[in-house]
Amino acid sequence: MIVRPRENWFRLLFVWNGSVLSSIIPQLCFMAVVSTLAVFTHGRVFGEKIPLNTAPFTLFGVALAIFLAFRNNASYERFNEARHLWGALLIASRTLTSQMLCYLPERADTLRIAHQVIGFAYAIKHELRGTDPAMDLERLLGREQAEKLRSQIYRPVSILNEIRYELSNPKHRAQPSDTKLWMLDAQLGEMGKVLGGCERIASTPIPFAYNVLLHRTVYAYCVLLPFGLVDSTEFFTPLLCVFIAYTLIALEAIASEVAEPFSVAPNALALDAMSRNIERSVLELCGCPVPAPVEPIRPYQLT
């Protein structure tokens, strides 16, 4: 995802990276060609005039807009829930670290467990994106534990189980009381809920039939539109049709990106920045050096 500073209204008119324009240029070029052909043939196909006017397109456009709104709302609900889950992960990570520091100050392995908490966040990020977590896990957990996790299928679950074992193992010094152990385990439970919620979103896409129906409807509307406008708009038909097609096709493209909040698309969640934020927050609580945040980038840069 692009992490960018807030832009003013004028710069937003010319933003390229982060918009979906670059991905729909072929479709817009196709629409320009179809609209130009409609102008030069006066709305005829194989010599036959297509009897279309603006009235049916107005009614159909309203219905299409409602359908697009439903699709975008469904996509944004997934995006918003994913963002809430990662917010809950930040809160649980901070709370767990703070509880260990305050209620178990005599433990010598608190910093190591704090690194496991950070490693849990990075392991979730890599699992959701399908990327290799080896570098981050080795940096945070050490080579031995990272090698042990390499053979695991559900690495975040293994890390969470290891944290729970470390906190409850009676062989360790300063074994917490039942009350303290219950408080610590409650935060581990919250972290487990976050993992399960993210896995549910990642493994349950919007039904394919919705995507197919919306895709076919948008393109059918855009292809037929020039033949309904050509008699009234004449040589302005390509300009109007390309602009309308940009609006509809871009909305569909945005909905597709937002519906997959854990991808690396420009409009997905900034998991790199959020993972780094968890790392910074936990390390600061432990009194350790804090890495630099993920800075907003210029419009011409991509993460």
Tell me, letter by letter, the H, E, C secondary structure of 18-31. CECHHHHHHHHHHH
Query: Residues 11, 299: contact at Cβ < 8 Å?
Result: yes
At residue 48, the 3 state secondary structure works out as strand
Q: What is the pLDDT of residue 233?
A: 81
Q: What is the pLDDT of residue 84?
A: 97
What is the DSSP pairing of strand 48-49 with strand 44-45? Answer: antiparallel
At residue 157, the 3 state secondary structure works out as helix
Please name the amino acid found at residue 79: F
Question: What totals of helices (H) and strands (E) does the chain contain, helices first?
Answer: 11, 2
CA distances from 197 to 81, 115, 221 (A): 9, 23, 37
DSSP string, 179-193: HHHHHHHHHHHHHHH
Q: What is the pLDDT of residue 123?
A: 96
Annotated domain spans of the chain: 9-285
Task: Name the token pair of 132.
Answer: 């290799």
Q: What is the pLDDT of residue 2?
A: 53
Q: What is the pLDDT of residue 187?
A: 95
**Alpha-carbon span 221 to 252, nearest angstrom:** 13
Dihedral of alpha carbons 55, 57, 58, 63, sign:
positive
Q: What is the pLDDT of residue 48?
A: 74
User: 17: which DSSP letter?
Assistant: B
Query: Residues 245, 28: contact at Cβ < 8 Å?
Result: yes
**Alpha-carbon span 145 to 159, nearest angstrom:** 9
Q: What is the pLDDT of residue 118?
A: 96
**Alpha-carbon span 92 to 194, nearest angstrom:** 9
Q: What is the pLDDT of residue 302?
A: 40
Listed as own residue / partner, the contacts of 225-229 with beta carbons closer than 8 Å and 24 or more positions apart are: 225/57, 226/31, 226/34, 226/35, 226/37, 226/38, 226/39, 226/43, 227/38, 227/43, 227/45, 227/50, 227/52, 228/52, 228/53, 228/54, 228/56, 228/57, 229/54, 229/57
Ordered per-residue pLDDT tens for the chain, 303 residues = 555 666 666 777 777 776 788 889 999 999 999 999 989 888 787 777 777 777 778 888 888 888 888 889 999 999 999 999 999 999 999 999 999 999 888 777 889 999 999 999 999 999 999 999 999 999 999 999 999 999 899 999 999 999 999 888 765 555 677 788 899 999 999 999 999 999 999 999 888 888 898 899 999 999 989 988 888 888 899 999 999 999 999 999 999 999 999 998 888 899 999 999 999 999 999 999 999 888 766 544 443
**Alpha-carbon span 242 to 152, nearest angstrom:** 50
At residue 165, the 3 state secondary structure works out as helix
**Alpha-carbon span 272 to 253, nearest angstrom:** 23
User: 49: which DSSP letter?
Assistant: E
